[in-house]
Chain A
Amino acid sequence: MGYHYELRFGGVGGQGSLTAGTILAHAAVFHTNYYATQAPTYTSQVRGGAAKADVIISDKPIAFSETTHVDFFLATHQKAYDAYKGDVAEGSYVLVDPGLIKVADEDRKRWKIYEYPLVNVAKHEIGNVVTMNVIAVGVCVGLTHVLDAEAVRDAIKDDVPPAFLDLNMKAYNLGLEVGEKFRKEAEAKK
């Protein structure tokens, strides 16, 4: 089996979960020679309903596009965390904002839980709460090395409006740093 990675970005409508998934998929398709699919799931509740984007990245064409073995799960709302954690494989990375989500103890045993205050950092350090999804993308890439950090950077450049590019780059760099730090800590523990 070649390279195959499944990611899930869950939140509630309006938080930008789908965009986070799209950025990674674009990075895989346009800036890395990989295949990718992105399958969003949402309810008719446009704002506030649980929403997720499942992204599969692979070096081979993807036939069946449903995720069955999620390797990385980002949750930015309790509703989404509870609803979408089912497919997350044992031992996978789970990134949550502790201000938004309460993680049960048995979940901590099941997955590698990383907690980072995405909303607060986006609001106070970056200056705009909407960048929380890009911070999360950064943490994800730093932590998992799912794709080359530069490829993702290029995808962000393509996808965000030019006026917000600097802001988003700042958010991405910060997230990336945090992710790398998590990764080093985990390696050190080993």
Chain B
Amino acid sequence: MGRVEFLNANAAIAEAALIAGCGFYAGYPITPSSEIPERLSRIMPEKGVPFIMLEDEIASINACVGAAASGVKAMTASSGPGISLKQEAFGEACIMEVPIVVVNAMRGGPSTGLPTRPSQADIMQAKWGTHGDHPVIALAPCNAQEVVFETIRAFNLAEKFRQPVYLLIDGLLTHLHAKVYLPDPEEVEIIDRDQPTVEPEEYYPFDYNYEIPPLAKWWTEDGKSYRFHISSLNHDKTGFPTVVPKYVQWQEKRLQNKILNHIDEIEKFEYYKMDDADVCIVAYGSTAESARVAVDEAREEGLKVGMFRPITIWPLAEKQLKELGDRVKSIIVAELNLGQYLLEVERVIAGKIPIYSVLQAAGVPIRPNQILEKVKNPEKDVEICLSDEEVKSFGGGE
């Protein structure tokens, strides 16, 4: 039996990380993700696991790679500019196949942008932020409770697929306090990385015989000593650099395939009132909560509207999106950016049915009535709906 607490998403992530067995956190303060290290700085020493604030964002993700490579579950969190700084090491975790969890509390941008305001503009950055071909897993929970379960799932996926995982939240979730159930660690499924079954002399960290080769912990209780090398350069099965085209291509393809071949395991999504829907709203993260209200209101008015909500943003829920193209008459994508997930929806639907969008990059959430408006008048652009008094509450500035 777990606990019920009144938490915002940041605090929920901190608690959930410990439930998932996070054994290392390194961070650097940045709004709006700072409450994650603030809470962890209290609870990680209580659990007896290391917590450290480092000199910059780069150091903190690199420390996570070090800790995770040596055998513990590691997490770092940041936002906007900080996530941009972490990109190089995110790619390192991809190629070294070191499981880490990176929380991105998305805020407006580019650059310093809107530190205290919500945004969902890092969807494409999550996929393409670091250089080179690489797979990505990114999850976007929609409320504080789901944040708890998705944080645990982020750790599980990272460990299972030897893969860095993004947890994408936004300024709305980070500020919002809500009733949250925190399960006991025994209550949820916790996955730890596979350990080698072969003897140390036969062990390769990137063994070609496995789709996902086990990553041996450096120091285990049974004292077996798996000493190996991992290079951040393209490497062969031994972890040593290689430029042999055959091995390089194998590695690059295996990195992709270990995710693509397990897409059904990784995908998670929600259909809301979709059974008889003609119009499907596609929304994720906190925007989906707004869409949910819009769906309810539309249903009250007798409109056949439903919602498809991807919880796993990357890899793309391609199969489900394609299916939507056969099921509904039109799609409305609502997101807090100028059309990022929209691009993918358009690519998959490929002109089969009309796609409309409610796109907002104004630092304020999309409200249910904006989406409802779009349902009723899909060809009309939706305005940012704020009363004069509300506009005043944002203070001066043209």
A149 and B325 alpha carbons, distance in the complex (Å): 53
Interface residue tally on A, bucketed by range: 20 to 34
Within 8 A of B (CB), among A148-170: none
A66 and B178 alpha carbons, distance in the complex (Å): 12
Q: How far is the CB of B293 from chain A (nearest CB, A)?
A: 4
For this complex, 8 residue pairs linking A to B, each with C-beta atoms less than 8 Å apart, are A36-B179, A37-B177, A38-B176, A39-B172, A44-B115, A64-B367, A66-B365, A83-B393
* B229 touches A (CB below 8 Å): no
Beyond A30-B6, A37-B178: 11 further Cβ-contacts under 8 Å? Answer: A29-B4, A35-B179, A36-B178, A40-B175, A43-B395, A63-B143, A63-B292, A64-B289, A66-B365, A68-B367, A86-B393
A84 and B31 alpha carbons, distance in the complex (Å): 23
Q: How far is the CB of B383 from chain A (nearest CB, A)?
A: 17
A39 and B172 alpha carbons, distance in the complex (Å): 8
Within 8 A of A (CB), among B171-199: 172, 175-179
- Choose one: B116, B368, B387, B395; the contact of A64 (CB below 8 Å): B368
Residues of A within 8 A of B365 (CB): 66
- Choose one: B143, B175, B178, B392; the contact of A82 (CB below 8 Å): B392
Residues of B within 8 A of A (CB): 4, 6, 31, 115-116, 143, 172, 175-179, 289-290, 292-293, 365, 367-368, 387-390, 392-393, 395
* A42 touches B (CB below 8 Å): yes
**Taking CB as reference atom, which chain A residue is nearest B293?**
A64
Q: Is the CB of B179 within 8 A of A64?
A: no
Q: Is the CB of B389 within 8 A of A86?
A: yes
Q: Is the CB of A85 within 8 A of B178?
A: no
**Taking CB as reference atom, which chain B residue is nearest A86?**
B389
**Taking CB as reference atom, which chain A residue is nearest B365?**
A66
A89 and B368 alpha carbons, distance in the complex (Å): 18
Residues of A within 8 A of B172 (CB): 39, 65
Residues of B within 8 A of A40 (CB): 175, 177
Q: Is the CB of A83 within 8 A of B175?
A: no
Q: Is the CB of B393 within 8 A of A29?
A: no
Contacts known (A65-B176, A86-B393); A25 close to B6, Cβ less than 8 A: yes
* A186 touches B (CB below 8 Å): no
Residues of B within 8 A of A39 (CB): 172, 175-177
Contacts known (A85-B389, A86-B390); A41 close to B292, Cβ less than 8 A: no
Residues of A within 8 A of B289 (CB): 63-65
Q: Is the CB of B292 within 8 A of A64?
A: yes
* A17 touches B (CB below 8 Å): no
**Taking CB as reference atom, which chain B residue is nearest A45?**
B395
9 closest A-B pairs by beta carbon, nearest first, are: A86-B389, A83-B393, A38-B177, A64-B293, A86-B390, A29-B179, A37-B178, A39-B176, A63-B292
* A87 touches B (CB below 8 Å): yes
Q: Is the CB of A44 within 8 A of B178?
A: no
A188 and B387 alpha carbons, distance in the complex (Å): 36
A38 and B175 alpha carbons, distance in the complex (Å): 8
Q: How far is the CB of B19 from chain A (nearest CB, A)?
A: 20
Q: Is the CB of B116 within 8 A of A44?
A: yes
Q: Is the CB of B178 within 8 A of A62?
A: yes
* A26 touches B (CB below 8 Å): yes
Q: Which of A22, A29, A65 has the most CB of B within 10 A?
A: A65
Q: How far is the CB of A12 from chain B (nearest CB, A)?
A: 13
* A50 touches B (CB below 8 Å): yes
Within 8 A of B (CB), among A72-100: 82-87
Residues of A within 8 A of B6 (CB): 22, 25-26, 29-30, 36, 38
